[in-house]
Amino acid sequence: MTEQEWKEKLTPEQYRVLRQKGTERPFTGEYNSHKEEGQYVCAGCGEKLFESDHKFDSGCGWPSFYQPTEKSKITNVLDTSHGMTRTEILCTNCGGHLGHVFTDGPEPTGLRYCVNSVSLGFEKKE
């Protein structure tokens, strides 16, 4: 999609985060304390990214998951912005910025996929 098409499809906040690599303020996102069973999808393209079974409360202020539905759904990119070295995570399907992954998560993976709520949608388990 063109940038104009993205601007028409997404809310201004979704566009800022997904397309311009922004970050929502901690503890403000819709899915930070969300407990329903189902799948979290990319707000940009609808790709199924994370399962509710893999969500945990990390206390960081953003929804956290210890693994994606499939590794191929997430693209890792080196991020050296803001004077830090981190691993940015993108939706492989549309390239939307989701957040970052860190190595301080729980077993079995030891990973914490820290995701902006605004980058996600949710499909409730039926």
Per-residue model confidence as pLDDT tens digits over 70-124:
999 999 999 998 898 999 999 999 999 999 999 999 999 999 999 999 999 999 9
pTM value is: 0.94
The per-residue pLDDT of the chain, averaged, comes to 96
Structure tokens at 58: 């990390």
Q: In CATH, what number is assigned to the domain containing residue 79?
A: 2.170.150.20
Contact 63, 105 (CB under 8 A): no
Strand-pairing partners, residue 122, are 40
CA atoms of 113 and 20, how far apart (whole Å): 19
**pLDDT value for 20:** 96
Domain assignment of residue 21, given as a range: 3-124
- 114 in active site: yes
Name the residue type at position 86. R
Question: Domain total for the chain?
Answer: 1
Active-site residue identified among 45, 60, 91, 114: 114
CA atoms of 73 and 90, how far apart (whole Å): 9
Supply the DSSP symbol for 73.
G
> Per DSSP, which regions of 10-73 are E strands?
38-42, 48-51, 55-56, 64-65
